[in-house]
Structure 1
Amino acid sequence: MAAKPEKGRVGMHIWMMTTEYRPEHGEGIATYFEQASRIYSQKGHKVTIFVADSSLKVAQSISQEGNLRIVRFQTNQEYYYYYMFYVPALSYQYAKVIGQFIEREGKPDCIECQDYGGIAYFLIQRKLTLESIYENINITIVIHRPRLLQAVLEEFSQYENNEFRILEMERFCFRAADGLIFPSASLLQRLSQEVDLTKQNCYIIPHPYQGPYEDGEEKEKKEEKAEKNQSEPVAMLYVGKLQLGQGTLQLLEYLKARWDRGWLFPLIMLGKDSTNYRENRLMSQLIQERYKKYIDQGLLRYEGNVKPQQVHAKLQESLVLLAPFLQAGFSYAVIEALALGQMVLKYQEVNQQENEHNEQDYAFFYHDQDQFHKQLDKIYALTAEERKNYALRGQKRVQQIYHPDRFYQAKQKVWEEILQKAQLSDKATATTVGEKEVKAHFPFIRERPKAKVDPALKTGHKDLLTIIIPYYNMGAYVKETMEELQKVTYQHKEILLINDGSDDLASLQILEEIEETYGPIRRIDQKNQGLVSVRNRGAQEALGEFIAFLDPDDWVAPQYYERAIKILQKYDNVSAVGCWYQIFQDMQGLWTNWNPEPPEILVSNTFNGQSAVYRKSDFLAYGRNDSTLPYALEDYEPTIHLVKQGCGAVVIPEAWFFYRIRKDSMARQFNRSNLSYAFQIIAEKHEPFFQEYALEIFNMLMGDFPNKGPLPSRESAGKER
């Protein structure tokens, strides 16, 4: 584990992950990372910023500025971008890049990640699935404006396949990170309504601000100049992305009513453009069309995305900053305006934590149209002296709340607390209480209590893995599978081969040969009863605490079973561990799997349990294959049953299962009709579970969720399903 920082100690290695750095304008998460990284480096820490850069012409670019190192890497070039949507693939690449630097330099003391898009997903998943180079890394998420909270305000579907995946990644990060840093209590409260954060380490630390500030003399000169030129209207200013969630259109409707009554003060809009999902076009296009009359009259001007220095200049030239942001969050534009002595009129929930400090002394609120007009009239009616007093109070408040030293002191306490909790957690999971081993708890997005398991099922030799091989006339492939099993690093294992009535003489002869060559092998012969019967009998006959199924034409990576069992031994709520598939022979490709959770697992088979390693007692209780399924999905229904009973499953994000696709594979017999019928049987069997998530299932199907069914097409294997 990275060393625990002493109070005031310099020389920590702090890594930061963001998709934006060196802000193009004065808003956004990029400003936070620019400000925070500058503070850390000034305090003597070694800071590395990892930034995805699609414009980069080389694979990677590294620049150094004192204690600050900036690592930019090219995106959309690696093979996994073909098999996943962009954002999941980007998250996977971040974890890979971080891993490469850890291998070269060692682990950092902490990693800070942006919230948006859940880009820390695979970094956290690799850590929690016990990949050694990621273990014991302390990962915090900086909450700014999560996409999860934008979904409702921006009026886009949360259930379209790509969007759902991104939001699930965010939810997982919020549940599984070592800590969440919120700039305001209101944002914490809002996110807690969407994600269960009761067991999470949540900290409220206002984002830092290092200037610029406007001194009194500059302010007085500006006021005098304004008084001498009364014929020139003093503009209002909007700084931020053009978005429904930012309150952009609501603000323009409020101002339209004033302009129609003869109001002559113009609005200047600065910030990035974005898509209006309701009308499927850019916000700037909608504004130009809907408010053309006011644009032609010079009352409305959109100047696009400008650099921070230009924002600074525009703030100084304007009288009031309008901040209609509907999402509880943080606005650097508001803070900079106050620091420069400007008036601010903002929606009630923006920077809500400041209400505790009597914000009415230096800023103006509104929560509806009538109050907006009253407050704006009040601002324009202020005398120069009154504006000066508001400005001084605003500057003082910014210096008190957002001062870099206050931010840094709070962050040091967070680092120390998170490291202490991590150390206590490691000690706890490494000890026993009486005869009971204390285990960790995997932070699934939707926690379900684990059902009790009959003690009579908890049999088997401790830590022993039974590898169950169903065998029916597979002599052409089984030697290759057995050869690969010799490379498996987990040594405490037995091989149980069940011959399901093979009648091919060559295959029977090969059985004798492999017993002699690769023994010891425990062999059971039975009349042909089919795959479901073989798997269930194998689980019943297994001597091990853990079981794994392996078809005689597939194989696994040497390290897979060892890691899977390590995960099962660590977590009390994990009953199965899977991985990704590497598809070979008649098809080639990567098949990505995900931790199976409702509602997604009720719509799409994201786990593929045929490759998983199981805790035998849980499998016998809730995971036995169902013989009533007439065609397929025998490995899908047990996953649903296990998850329903609180027996969670996790996925190692590596292609460690090698899945052979043959022309005569069982998968080739699947079609939409027989799959649909099998899915009907599953839904009826688990009707209360499906009813529990009926609304989400409906929305997924209407959102064109992958394949609209429980099993992805093998022909599109590896692509998001």
Structure 2
Amino acid sequence: MEPKITVIVPVYNVEKYLPECLDSLAAQTYPNLQVLVVNDGSTDTSPQIIADYVRRFPSLFAQLNKPNGGLSDARNFAMDKAEGEWIAFLDSDDWADPDYYAQMAEVMKQGADVVVSDIEYFYENGQPSWIMPGLNPHAFESPIKQAFLSPMFAWNKLYRADFFTKQQFRYPIGTWYEDIPVTMPIFAQCQKIGIQHAAWIHYRQREGSIMSVTQSARLKEIFPVMKQVRDQFAAMGCSEQYHDELEYLHIEHLRLYGMFRFLRSPLTKELKTMSDTVMQQFYPHWKKNPYIRYLGWKDQLFLKTFGSLTLPLYKRVIH
């Protein structure tokens, strides 16, 4: 029999999208799948939708109910019920093609600790979709370092279950950016990372999603998350080994793509000051990071020219 894959699906008030997500799981061709659908205190019809799929596919779906605690809490709640040798996550407003987990499993069988797939960004407003590579396409020193420079999402990956069952990795509760302090240390402990070069998982972009909310003070939560990652790598004794990769992670989230969100926020000056402080304390020579040269010229130009003097200009341009 094929190794079992447990897919964990947190659900909170997504009645509009949930059937498409669960239909995509019911259609999977992989023969040994367990789907744990966690009702995280929904107040809409999501619990009834889940119950209907459990009734129709009792050997595939199981419904877990809990009070609302957020995405991380819902994922963590399901960990002890996971039966699979391998674990995956799927957000309840996204969906996967029928062969997705079968293809991920084929790569996993080649001895990978984690398998990563490409991602389709799908827009509700009709904007054209586009593909994000699951692994940074540049050839770096090792696949592990390549992974550190790649998207940190939890749900475009298939993991050895013992990262969660034996090593007890859990997602931090009550914060945004929760994937980073789990994905990064897991990558650091991998011997082999596999890649499935197909965008068979579809990432829905909709109004109100966390990454599009720029008015919230919760943007500040990236700073304790980055501290957690620094502390994790220090505890594992590999801060120096992966210095450039950790530095680049900070560049990406505090000086580049994260800064684009900061510039759209009413807290721009405060967020920039916090960013300046962290980078000066931990990565004062970040502009010499070797991975910056792989960025597009616009991103490189922004990193070279953004500062206190140009902040007003960029705040007008980036909106």
Identify whether the pair has TM-score above 0.5, normalized to the shorter chain: yes
Q: Which amino acid aligns with 1:680?
A: K
Match of 2:29, SS state, is coil
Change (3 A) 1:705 1:545: closer
State how 1:109-148 maps to structure 2 within 5 Å: none
Partner of 2:271: none
Alpha-carbon contact 2:121-2:130 (below 8 Å) kept: yes
State how 1:196-275 maps to structure 2 within 5 Å: none
- The CA distance in 2 between the partners of 1:672 and 1:475, in whole Å, is 27
Structure 1 residue 507 and structure 2 residue 52: aligned? no
Change (3 A) 1:711 1:656: farther
- The structure whose RCO (Cα within 8 Å, separation 6+) is larger is 2
Alpha-carbon contact 1:598-1:693 (below 8 Å) kept: no
Change (3 A) 1:511 1:712: farther
TM superposition shift of 1:616: 0.8
Structure 1 residue 540 and structure 2 residue 80: aligned? yes
Q: What do you get for the CA RMSD once the two structures are aligned?
A: 3.3
Change (3 A) 1:553 1:705: closer
Partner of 1:200: none
TM superposition shift of 1:644: 2.0
Match of 2:118, SS state, is strand
- The CA distance in 2 between the partners of 1:541 and 1:665, in whole Å, is 28
Match of 1:637, SS state, is helix
Any idea what the Cα deviations from partners look like across 1:548-582, whole Å, max 9, x if unmatched?
111111111222211211222221xx221121111
Structure 1 residue 560 and structure 2 residue 105: aligned? no
* 1:585 aligns with one of 105, 109, 123: 123
Partner of 1:624: 169
TM superposition shift of 1:477: 0.9
Structure 1 residue 674 and structure 2 residue 221: aligned? yes
Change (3 A) 1:524 1:647: farther
State how 1:52-201 maps to structure 2 within 5 Å: none
- The CA distance in 1 between the partners of 2:68 and 2:147, in whole Å, is 31
Structure 1 residue 689 and structure 2 residue 230: aligned? no
Any idea what the Cα deviations from partners look like across 1:340-373, whole Å, max 9, x if unmatched?
xxxxxxxxxxxxxxxxxxxxxxxxxxxxxxxxxx
Change (3 A) 1:479 1:686: same
Structure 1 residue 516 and structure 2 residue 55: aligned? yes
Alpha-carbon contact 1:579-1:655 (below 8 Å) kept: yes
Match of 2:36, SS state, is strand
Any idea what the Cα deviations from partners look like across 1:317-339, whole Å, max 9, x if unmatched?
xxxxxxxxxxxxxxxxxxxxxxx
Q: Which amino acid aligns with 2:106?
A: K
Match of 1:609, SS state, is coil
TM superposition shift of 1:492: 1.4
- The CA distance in 2 between the partners of 1:686 and 1:594, in whole Å, is 21
* 2:200 aligns with one of 656, 669, 673: 656
Partner of 1:640: 184
TM superposition shift of 1:606: 3.1
Alpha-carbon contact 2:79-2:165 (below 8 Å) kept: yes
Change (3 A) 1:701 1:560: closer
State how 1:291-690 maps to structure 2 within 5 Å: 463-504=3-44, 506-520=45-59, 521-571=61-111, 574-586=112-124, 588-594=129-135, 599=145, 604-622=149-167, 624-627=169-172, 630-669=174-213, 673-687=220-234, 688-690=237-239
TM superposition shift of 1:642: 1.3
Alpha-carbon contact 1:618-1:647 (below 8 Å) kept: no
- The CA distance in 2 between the partners of 1:689 and 1:518, in whole Å, is 45
- The CA distance in 1 between the partners of 2:175 and 2:162, in whole Å, is 26
Any idea what the Cα deviations from partners look like across 1:516-567, whole Å, max 9, x if unmatched?
3444421111122222122123232111211211111111122221121122
Partner of 1:263: none
- The CA distance in 2 between the partners of 1:710 and 1:605, in whole Å, is 13
Q: Which amino acid aligns with 1:473?
A: N
- The CA distance in 2 between the partners of 1:646 and 1:712, in whole Å, is 30
Q: Which amino acid aligns with 1:527?
A: P
Alpha-carbon contact 1:475-1:511 (below 8 Å) kept: no
TM superposition shift of 1:619: 3.3
- The CA distance in 1 between the partners of 2:27 and 2:94, in whole Å, is 14
Change (3 A) 1:508 1:672: closer
Listed as ranges, the gaps of 5+ residues in structure 1 are 1-460
Alpha-carbon contact 2:122-2:202 (below 8 Å) kept: yes
Alpha-carbon contact 2:117-2:196 (below 8 Å) kept: yes
TM superposition shift of 1:708: 4.2
Alpha-carbon contact 1:568-1:577 (below 8 Å) kept: yes
Change (3 A) 1:511 1:609: closer
Alpha-carbon contact 2:35-2:62 (below 8 Å) kept: yes
Match of 1:541, SS state, is coil
- The CA distance in 2 between the partners of 1:713 and 1:518, in whole Å, is 44
Change (3 A) 1:559 1:635: same
- The CA distance in 2 between the partners of 1:612 and 1:590, in whole Å, is 16
Alpha-carbon contact 1:464-1:492 (below 8 Å) kept: yes
- The CA distance in 1 between the partners of 2:46 and 2:249, in whole Å, is 44
Alpha-carbon contact 1:582-1:657 (below 8 Å) kept: yes
TM superposition shift of 1:696: 6.2
* TM-score normalised per structure 1: 0.31
- The CA distance in 2 between the partners of 1:695 and 1:665, in whole Å, is 30
Listed as ranges, the gaps of 5+ residues in structure 2 are 137-141, 262-294, 300-319
TM superposition shift of 1:462: 6.1
- The CA distance in 2 between the partners of 1:648 and 1:710, in whole Å, is 28
- The CA distance in 2 between the partners of 1:666 and 1:632, in whole Å, is 8
Change (3 A) 1:696 1:474: closer
TM superposition shift of 1:683: 1.4
- The CA distance in 2 between the partners of 1:641 and 1:675, in whole Å, is 17
- The CA distance in 1 between the partners of 2:28 and 2:258, in whole Å, is 29
Alpha-carbon contact 2:41-2:68 (below 8 Å) kept: yes
* TM-score normalised per structure 2: 0.67
Identity across matched positions, percent: 23
